[in-house]
Amino acid sequence: MDMGLKGAKALITGATKGIGRAIAETLAAEGADVGICARNTGDVEAMVAALKATGVTAAGKAVDVADGPALKAWVNEMADALGGIDIVVANVSALAIGQDDESWSKEFSTDMMGTVRLVDAAMPYLEKSKHAAIVTIASVSGREIDFAAGPYGTFKAAIIHYTQGLAYQLAAKGIRANTVSPGNTYFEGGVWNTIKDGNPDLYKAALALNPTGRMGTPQEMANAVVFLASPVASFISGTNLVVDGALTRGVQF
């Protein structure tokens, strides 16, 4: 299926590893031009080179999304480099599950405000786009209580609410907004890889919860994100797409 993304201009935060990397690669494979950020300069440079090798325009910069002015500057720089913005994907998470003040602060500034500020900075460009789409990355931890209950789950739930509000508020402008809520996703160097090595009991318990007998892959999450970002999903807005292999059992109306 042609997803209608050739020549689209897409920004993805946290795009050098895991789900974010897979999203950037999949968008590029569909012909979209891509702007990325992450905190490590070397990782960003290597990813930009890999994206350019596919034949698309790509740009990137090391940015901490919790730094509001730096995030806004990155958005404007990427818009200049790509020639506009059609898609924004808010992917970065602090992954803070502690109950201390620092964990709450990290989740708020990185997950919540990193998402809000990204959307706000991109809005002038999205308003000019014919196929504008916002996709935010939440989590199954945002819709049920699990081991990540606390700051991580709380702010992922807030992101779902925020995004559905955007969908309603921006519909008249032709800007769509959707959320993808991944289930447990395994990749080398990722959080579940770390848990598997450092806390095997927790890893086994988490794995046993999924009736598929496995965790998801970054590519499976990216497929959902890219679909929602594409013109193929032109009448889908305000949805929270759960991609978890039947891990969660609550009925989502």
List the chain domain ranges.
9-187+217-242
Q: What is the overall mean pLDDT for the chain?
A: 96
Segment holding 242, helix H or strand E = strand 240-243
Threshold 0.85, pTM exceeds: yes
- State whether the Cα torsion 151-156-162-165 is positive or negative: negative
pLDDT exceeds 80 at position 171: yes
Residue 191's pLDDT is what?
A: 87
The residues that bridge with 34 in the sheet, in sequence order, are: 10, 58
Name every residue whose Cβ is closer than 8 Å to that of residue 224 and which is 6 or more positions away in sequence.
180, 241, 243
Residue 252's pLDDT is what?
A: 77
pLDDT exceeds 90 at position 76: yes
Residue 75's pLDDT is what?
A: 98
Does domain 9-187+217-242 correspond to CATH entry 3.40.50.720? yes
Residue 66's pLDDT is what?
A: 98
Residue 202's pLDDT is what?
A: 87
pLDDT exceeds 90 at position 250: no
pLDDT exceeds 90 at position 148: no
pLDDT exceeds 80 at position 71: yes
Residue 10's pLDDT is what?
A: 98
How far apart CA 107 and CA 130 sit, in angstroms, is: 33
- CB crowding 88-123: b at 16 or more within 10 Å, else e: bbbbbbbbbbeeeeebbebbbbbbbbbbbbbbebbb
Environment class of 69 (CB within 10 Å of its CB; exposed 0-12, middle 13-18, buried 19+): exposed
pLDDT exceeds 90 at position 46: yes
Strands (E) located in 53-188: 58-62, 87-90, 133-137, 176-182
- Structure tokens, 38: 């992450």
**Residue 49 and residue 125 in contact, taking contact as beta carbons nearer than 8 Å:** no
- How confident is the model over 22-33, as pLDDT tens digits? 999 999 999 999
Question: Predicted confidence band at 195 (pLDDT cuts at 50, 70, 90)?
Answer: confident
Residue 249's pLDDT is what?
A: 87
pLDDT exceeds 80 at position 57: yes
Mean pLDDT calculated for residue range 216-237: 98
Mean pLDDT calculated for residue range 1-16: 96
Mean pLDDT calculated for residue range 182-194: 91
How far apart CA 111 and CA 90 sit, in angstroms, is: 8
> Residue 240's CB: how many other CB atoms inside 10 A?
19
Residues with catalytic function: 152
How far apart CA 232 and CA 49 sit, in angstroms, is: 28
